[in-house]
Each structure stands twice: as structure tokens, then as C-alpha cells.
Structure 1
Amino acid sequence: MTTTNQERSLAVLVGVQLPGVDDVEHAADLAELGRLVHTLGFDVIATVSQRRSALAAAAVLGEGKLRELAEFTGGSGVVPSGAPERKSKARARRAAESGEGDEDDVELGGDDGDDAGDDGGAAPGAGGAQAARRATVVAVDHDISPSQARNLERATGAQVLDRAGVIIEIFHRHARSREAKLEVEIARLNYVAPRLRETGGGGDRQRGGIGGKGAGESALELDRRKIRDRIAELKEELVAVQREQSTRRALRQGQRRVALVGYTNAGKSSLMRALTGSEVLVADKLFATLDTTVRALHPEVRPRILVSDTVGFIKKLPHDLVASFRSTLDEALEASLLLYVADASDPTFRDQLAVTRGVLSEIGASEVPSRLLLNKVDRLSEEDRDALRLEFPEATLLSAKTPADVAALREAIIAFFEQSMVEAELLLPYAKQGLIGEIYENARVLSEEYDEAGGRLSVRAHAAALDRLRSLLAR
């Protein structure tokens, strides 16, 4: 069955350009939010943007922009009385001294082009508001308070999600492993808990006693207590799952490991599939991969090289998700080599690369040897490629879709590990022939000779692996 745009719900993006954020960065943030919303299953029909010194305290936008936003959703565009916008004393003083008001105070006479408009693939602006179908979701490119979200919902008549809410919902839908599901659910409950007061549920006090909700406990307090209890249960279960994961990682200790790290949708999974021949999920969506996948480099080499595909990074990632997904980044921390994958066709990849390096630095992975891979160069002109070579002389330019590029990367990975390997001779007594598989698994056997004492194997391996093998043979 063919899916049409009419079958997808519609959304409007909202962004406030704060001081210190230039036009390019602001446009890139909104474009990324649009891709997040699209991944969530909505078509973006418009973007409402405004320059302000700070988010409006009541409903993010000023009164004029709020009415413009409501044209796309069919709402009133008015924040109900009792929730007026509160200007800070500092803002009021600055406005009085300069004789100027906020930009939203003068926007009704016509926009100057910087305050609002479409952005990066958004549908036509005001004209689109006349369409029969209205947007049912408003996505705000900021972290907003529960009261701001509620006021926006009242003014627009649409569901409101801030950036953190959008990302958490995507994670919730895409999580596959038990560990990822537990981590996402904890983050989701932490996000929902402070917003319960905005649901409008009854707040009557309940009677205590056997089977009651507790002496004087309101429905809201009961719901929050249930959430706290549920989070505690999930954390206990997560500890057990992570203990199992740590055991698996310990079994891989000493093996040669490569971790693919980078911004979401940079092409890590495509590169993983090309390097290992595995059927990992590849999709042109943000956060298509939330679980760490480990596969052997293919065709296999001896000793084996394991490749890990990790969760992607993104700007303004909710703090709860940064904390909960730290365990998935252990693969990066324990890797022998990090491959930073960047989408060279994205004009903002430099900022994305900075985000990736910043997060990895926080967990102490900045000391791990690394290589920079500029992916998707098949989308660039030769002039653009030459410019990147000059700017990033140490980087490898490639396309995961080009077999020759992938083959060259595979050889570079092997060469990295080869340079730290040393040659040695191992004596394998006949009584310990059962260790021959262990030797072949952890070293490259160059030659074998047998005499009355046993087998004499000339091998090439890493020093740590040699020490381990000698220890096994000496027992």
C-alpha cells in the first residue's frame, strides 16, 4: 500500500533565536528538529521562529508570534488569563533604558524576515495555515517548563513537545534490547513526573486506611509515588542487566576492538554492515540504532578484530538520556581504536564532530587512539573533497557505499593493529594440545614445527595476548 503525506499527522516547529546564536546555527538546529519530528512520524508544514533575549515566560513566544502559530493549529493564539507573560526585572530595566521593547511587541505590523518564516524544508508559511488539515503537534526546539507547555497547548489546541520530549519518544519507539528499553523507560518516567501537575487530574485528598491511598494523599501525589517506585524497580533490573553486559565485555577483554562513534545518522550502521557483512539496521533516520552491536571484521583475520556500532550523539541530548546511556558508551571507552564517523555532506558536521568529541571526553575516552572518517563523500564535488583534504589532512574520505573505500578502510584497521604486534615463539606441549584453538584465536601463527617436546609455533601477537598465552601454557 502506498503511504501518502495525507496519512501522516502534521507538525509545526517553534524556535527562538537567542543572543549568541547566529543565523546558520539557528537554521541548523531547526532543520535537525524537523528531522527528529519526521522520524517520529509527522510532516512539518511550517516553522515559526523569533529573535528574543529569552524565552517568553508564559508560552515561549511573544503574543504576535503566538497568534501566528495558532493559525497553523486552529487555536485561539491567546494564553488564558491567569498566566500572563512575566518579564524579568533585568529585561524590563534594559527595555526602559533603551526605549525599546521585545521584538515580538512590534511584529504585528509585519515580519522583518528574521523573526519568522520557513526553515529547511518546511512547507509554505502563512498560506499553509489556510489548508483544511491543521497541525496537531507543536515541537519546540528548547527545553521548556511544564507550565510553558501547558500554556502553549491552550493557545494552540495542539499537543506540545519540547526537544527533550521528542528525543525521548524516538528512543522509546526505537529501543530493542532489554537494556535500552530499561534505560529509555527510566528517562521517560523522569521526564513525565514533573509534568503530572499539568494533566489537570483531580487533586482531592484521599482517605487513608487499609487499601487506601495513604492519609491525606492526593491523586497527584499517588501517581508520583507510583512513578518513583517504578523507577526504583527499573534501576534494580537495569543493574542486573548491566552486570551481564559487563561479564560479556570482560570475556572480550584483550581482544582487538574498534568502536564506530559519531553523530546520529552519520552513516555508522552502513559502515558497520560494509565492514562486517552483518545485517544491522540501516535507515535514513535519526537514532535508528540505540543498541550497541558487536560483530567481527569480515573477511575475518587472526586474531579477530571486533567492530562495535554505538548509539549516535546529538546536540541538546536530555541529561537523563546522557546518564542512562553512558553504559552503552563503555564500548568506546574499552575499545582499542575509535573511528569518528562524520557526514561530510552535512554543512554542520564540524559542530556535530565537536559534540561527539565532547561527550566522549566526558567519559574519559579522549585518550583512546582514534581516526577521523569523513563519510558520504559520494555526495560531494571533487572541489569540495579537495577542500576537506586540506582542512583535515589526517582524515580518511570515503563512502560506505563504495566497496573500494571500505576495503581500504579495512586494510587501514588491520595495519593499525599490526604495528603493535610482536613476533615470538611458543612451545605447545603435547599434553596441552587443547590450547591450540586459543593460540589461533589470539595470535597469528606464522609457522609450526613439531619435535619430541611438542609443537614450536612462531606467532605474531600483541604483548598482552602473548603474556596471557604464556601464562596458560605454563600452568
Structure 2
Amino acid sequence: MTTTNQERSLAVLVGVQLPGIDDVEHAADLAELGRLVHTLGFDVIATVSQRRSALAAAAVLGEGKLRELAELTGGSGVVPSGAPERKNKARARRAAESGEGDEDEVELGGDDGDDAGDGGAEPRAGGAGQAARLATVVAVDHDISPSQARNLERATGAQVLDRAGVIIEIFHRHARSREAKLEVEIARLNYVAPRLRETGGGGDRQRGGIGGKGAGESALELDRRKIRDRIAELKEELAAVQREQTTRRALRQGQRRVALVGYTNAGKSSLMRALTGSEVLVADKLFATLDTTVRALHPEVRPRILVSDTVGFIKKLPHDLVASFRSTLDEALEASLLLYVADASDPTFRDQLAVTRGVLSEIGASEVPSRLLLNKVDRLSEEERDALRLEFPEATQLSAKIPDDVAALREAIIAFFEQSMVEAELLLPYAKQSLIGEIYENARVLSEEYDDVGGRLSVRAHAAALDRLRSLLAR
């Protein structure tokens, strides 16, 4: 076990506490970033935090905090300017070793007056073995510009990922279906394109020619054009895949559908497995599920109830990913019932719930009937559960690990659909006996009687299903 941990690369978190962000929210954001970075495969060894009125324009942090960060990564702590990057790094290291100033250092701006003694480098659990190693990745809890990322890399000598970059990389690794892979790749290329930079000797402009670069087109411009062309190809493929998905959803139109929605790692997949008996992936990781899964409620009822497990939400989700995964959220928009799943053991679940509701409101799903499920209550004390009952009297408290809780939720789902069903009698002529399966699929048959004309079936069904069945019998 220890050997495996030693093999994992190390990372440092960087966060700037901006005006309007209190200490609790700032700590929660950094903790979430730490979980994202851990999901990506890194061990977090320290956090460098600073209170500022705005991100430093050059390298996010002020000069003092930048040097603290560089001590954790083995970098120089200064941002060279003007000369080629490789030469500047060497000169910065020599200057740091000699104790002399570097005349080419970029003006970073000192730390704000209220930064003194605040938000230093906080070590994280890692052990003595990790303490001797340097971090190779710096994860910033903000969206930063390409120039800020480049300056941080020069100052620290480490790979720099902002929050959007971390999330996109996780999505890229976890996507399984063709649709999810296409959506993630489009978002990834949109993220990479503005961050391309010239490599050594690649900035010259070339003559045009068949199969070559356009007239006067640099290597960087060529790379960007290739990315634009690739994005266009991916969008065409995605459109074809989404047409197939639309056809599948149309076939399910009129069926009773429940969608599990909520923050990432709230326990949606665990509930999905418990309600449907399906072998969906369950993992204690952020964004373990990126593909919409649809299964029937188990044990099955008639008419059948379908349950959908959707992609989880997160704060500061990159806009490209929100747009890309709009199609997966269509399951929520077209559902008959939304089950908002919240991790009641997480002290920030109220903010997480607000994020979920905000995103669903953007796509128009706020009008869909919904129920709130406070999951993982087995981790709470009875006093904490009583407090939640007072705060959320309409919510259902449960744990996906407790069979009785899951059974009660199943009955509540069935009861929701039962209340909108009506009783009716259908006449099934002997010439239309082939429709008996269709009736059983879309209605609950209470009794059957047969005479010389055919069968008289007493059924319970939704009004729309009854209209459809009557039209089939009348043909």
C-alpha cells in the first residue's frame, strides 16, 4: 500500500480568497479541488492560500507567496521576461543560489496589505517519505489565462492546471460511451487551443504549397487550424450520435421515467444500483459517472418505470462542458419525476444543491415534479437527522446501503405514478389479440372477462397511455 502511494506524483493546491468569499466557502472550494486532483491520480502535499482583492495579473499569487510555492516544487520563485524561457530559468536559478536579484524579473506586485501571515503553505497528510519529494503539479482553484499558467510554470518548474483543466482531464479519462468521448474531446480541444505556444524553431513562416502550410502561416497557426478542423469533424460525429439518442428517447416517450440528479459523488450511482439491481459503476470519486444510464425499476412493475442516472454537477464547471453535456441532461428535462440526491453528511450540501438546481433551471427542468433525497444519513447522529427534519420537512432521509430505506423509496416512486393513474375498461376484440402485450406493457390489468365479442379488460393507466391504447384498438 505504501509503495503505491510513493509512486503517485505529488501536487500543491493554490487558492486565492477573493472579496465576498468567507473562510468556510474558501476552505470547501480547496477541499473539493483536492478531491478532484486526487481523482486525477495525484497526492496533495500542501496548500498555498492567499487573501487578495484580485488574482495577480502576472502569476496569480503575490511575490512572497509565489516564492513559498516554488519551495514546494523546486522552482526559482520568479518569472523571467523577455529572453527565451530555457535561458531565463537557468539564470533565475543561479540568481537564487547566489542571493543576487534578477534584473529581468517581472514586476509581480507585492502581497496585499492584509496578506501578512495569512494563508501560508499548509502541509497535507503525506508522511516523511513524501515530505522529501517535490511536487510536480500545481493545481489552481480558479480559471486562469494562458499567460498566467505559463508564468506559474516558469516560476515553479511544475506543470500547472487550473480548475477547468483538472475537470476536463478527469472527464477525458472517465468518459466511456461514444457520445461522452466526443463531447469531452470537443471541450478539451477548445481548452487547449488558446494555450498552444510556439516551440523552438517553430515560429518561422512558411511558403504555401500542396500539403504544406498556407502562405505565411506559422507552425502555431497551423496547429490551431488543425484543432479547428478536428473540432468541426467531432461536432459532425456528435450530431449523428445525438440523432440516434433522440430516436431512442422518442421510443421511450410516454413511459414513466425517473431521473437521479445531484452533485458529483452524492451517491446517485449507489441509489441507481439499489433501485434497479444493475451493475453500474459505484466509486468514491468525483465524476465516476459521465454517461447517462437507463434501467428499469426492480422488481419490475407494470407499467414499467425507468430510472436514469445522470452526470453529476460541480461548482465552476467549465462552460464548454456545460454546453457539451446538455444532451445528457435531456434525460432530466424529459423525466416525469426528478429525484434530487444530496450527500447529507457533507456540510456544504446546501450549496451543492443550489448548484444542481441552478443548472437544471437553465435547461428548463425546474418545472418537472421533484423530490429531495438526503442520502448517506447513516453517517449522521440522531440529533443531526432531527435538525435536518426541521430544516427539510418534505425531504426523504435515507442511505443507499440500507435495504429498508431503498424499499421505502421504491414504494414512494410507485405511489407518485399511481396517483395520476385512472381506471378504465378496454374492449379487446379477438381480431386484435396481438395487442394484449401492448396493453400489459402500458397499463396495469386489474381483471379480464371474455365473451362472444372479445375480452373486457379493467385497467389502471395514465390518461395519455389510455388514449394511445384506445387509438390502437380502434384501427
**Contact 1:58–1:83 (CA under 8 A) maintained in structure 2:** no
Q: Which stretch shifts more, 428-437 or 330-339?
A: 428-437
Q: CA offset at residue 40 of structure 1?
A: 0.1
For residues 469 and 10 of structure 2, the distance between their equivalents in structure 1, rounded to whole angstroms, comes to: 61
**Contact 1:69–1:77 (CA under 8 A) maintained in structure 2:** yes
Cα distance 1:268–1:11, how it changes in 2: closer, same or farther (>3 A)?
A: same
Secondary structure in 2 matching 1:88: helix
Cα distance 1:341–1:56, how it changes in 2: closer, same or farther (>3 A)?
A: same
Cα distance 1:111–1:148, how it changes in 2: closer, same or farther (>3 A)?
A: closer
Q: CA offset at residue 241 of structure 1?
A: 0.1
Q: CA offset at residue 123 of structure 1?
A: 6.9
For residues 378 and 126 of structure 1, the distance between their equivalents in structure 2, rounded to whole angstroms, comes to: 26
Q: CA offset at residue 309 of structure 1?
A: 0.1
For residues 9 and 66 of structure 2, the distance between their equivalents in structure 1, rounded to whole angstroms, comes to: 21
**Contact 2:48–2:121 (CA under 8 A) maintained in structure 1:** no
**Contact 1:443–1:459 (CA under 8 A) maintained in structure 2:** yes
Q: CA offset at residue 211 of structure 1?
A: 2.5
**Contact 2:79–2:105 (CA under 8 A) maintained in structure 1:** no
Cα distance 1:94–1:299, how it changes in 2: closer, same or farther (>3 A)?
A: farther
Cα distance 1:110–1:234, how it changes in 2: closer, same or farther (>3 A)?
A: closer
Secondary structure in 2 matching 1:126: coil
**Contact 2:271–2:400 (CA under 8 A) maintained in structure 1:** yes
Query: Could you give the per-residue CA deviations for residues 278-303 of structure 1, whole angstroms, max 9, x where no partner exists?
Result: 00000000000000000000000000
**Contact 2:68–2:121 (CA under 8 A) maintained in structure 1:** no
Count of residues paired in the alignment = 474
Secondary structure in 1 matching 2:428: strand
Between the aligned residues of both structures, percent identity stands at: 97
Cα distance 1:305–1:392, how it changes in 2: closer, same or farther (>3 A)?
A: same
Query: Could you give the per-residue CA deviations for residues 52-78 of structure 1, whole angstroms, max 9, x where no partner exists?
Result: 000000000000000000011000011
Q: CA offset at residue 89 of structure 1?
A: 30
Cα distance 1:428–1:278, how it changes in 2: closer, same or farther (>3 A)?
A: same
Secondary structure in 1 matching 2:106: helix
Report the counterpart of residue 123 of structure 2 in structure 1: 124
TM-score (norm 2): 0.91
Query: Could you give the per-residue CA deviations for residues 182-213 of structure 1, whole angstroms, max 9, x where no partner exists?
Result: 00000000000000126667211011122221
For residues 361 and 95 of structure 1, the distance between their equivalents in structure 2, rounded to whole angstroms, comes to: 55
For residues 370 and 95 of structure 1, the distance between their equivalents in structure 2, rounded to whole angstroms, comes to: 62
Secondary structure in 2 matching 1:4: helix
Matched, 1:200 2:190: no
**Contact 1:64–1:107 (CA under 8 A) maintained in structure 2:** no
Q: Which stretch shifts more, 189-198 or 24-33?
A: 189-198
For residues 101 and 448 of structure 2, the distance between their equivalents in structure 1, rounded to whole angstroms, comes to: 85
Secondary structure in 1 matching 2:167: helix
Q: Which stretch shifts more, 371-380 or 90-99?
A: 90-99
For residues 30 and 207 of structure 1, the distance between their equivalents in structure 2, rounded to whole angstroms, comes to: 49
Cα distance 1:61–1:229, how it changes in 2: closer, same or farther (>3 A)?
A: same
Secondary structure in 1 matching 2:185: helix
Q: CA offset at residue 131 of structure 1?
A: 3.3
What is the RMSD of the two structures over their aligned residues, measured on CA atoms? 6.3
**Contact 1:147–1:198 (CA under 8 A) maintained in structure 2:** no
Q: Which stretch shifts more, 445-454 or 73-82?
A: 73-82
TM-score (norm 1): 0.91
Matched, 1:140 2:140: yes
Report the counterpart of residue 448 of structure 1 in structure 2: 448
Secondary structure in 1 matching 2:413: helix
Query: Could you give the per-residue CA deviations for residues 238-295 of structure 1, whole angstroms, max 9, x where no partner exists?
Result: 0000000000000000000000000000000000000000000000000000000000
Q: CA offset at residue 90 of structure 1?
A: 35
For residues 199 and 162 of structure 1, the distance between their equivalents in structure 2, rounded to whole angstroms, comes to: 22
Cα distance 1:90–1:213, how it changes in 2: closer, same or farther (>3 A)?
A: closer
Structure 1 unmatched runs, 5+: none
Q: CA offset at residue 126 of structure 1?
A: 13
Cα distance 1:261–1:207, how it changes in 2: closer, same or farther (>3 A)?
A: same
**Contact 1:52–1:102 (CA under 8 A) maintained in structure 2:** no
Query: Could you give the per-residue CA deviations for residues 18-77 of structure 1, whole angstroms, max 9, x where no partner exists?
Result: 000000000000000000000000000000000000000000000000000001100001
Cα distance 1:435–1:91, how it changes in 2: closer, same or farther (>3 A)?
A: farther
Secondary structure in 1 matching 2:138: strand
**Contact 2:340–2:371 (CA under 8 A) maintained in structure 1:** yes
For residues 97 and 108 of structure 1, the distance between their equivalents in structure 2, rounded to whole angstroms, comes to: 20
Q: CA offset at residue 94 of structure 1?
A: 36
Query: Could you give the per-residue CA deviations for residues 310-366 of structure 1, whole angstroms, max 9, x where no partner exists?
Result: 000000000000000000000000000000000000000000000000000000000
Q: Which stretch shifts more, 365-374 or 99-108?
A: 99-108
**Contact 1:51–1:103 (CA under 8 A) maintained in structure 2:** no
Q: Which stretch shifts more, 213-222 or 333-342?
A: 213-222
Q: CA offset at residue 133 of structure 1?
A: 1.1
Cα distance 1:203–1:111, how it changes in 2: closer, same or farther (>3 A)?
A: closer
Cα distance 1:154–1:121, how it changes in 2: closer, same or farther (>3 A)?
A: closer
Cα distance 1:378–1:107, how it changes in 2: closer, same or farther (>3 A)?
A: farther
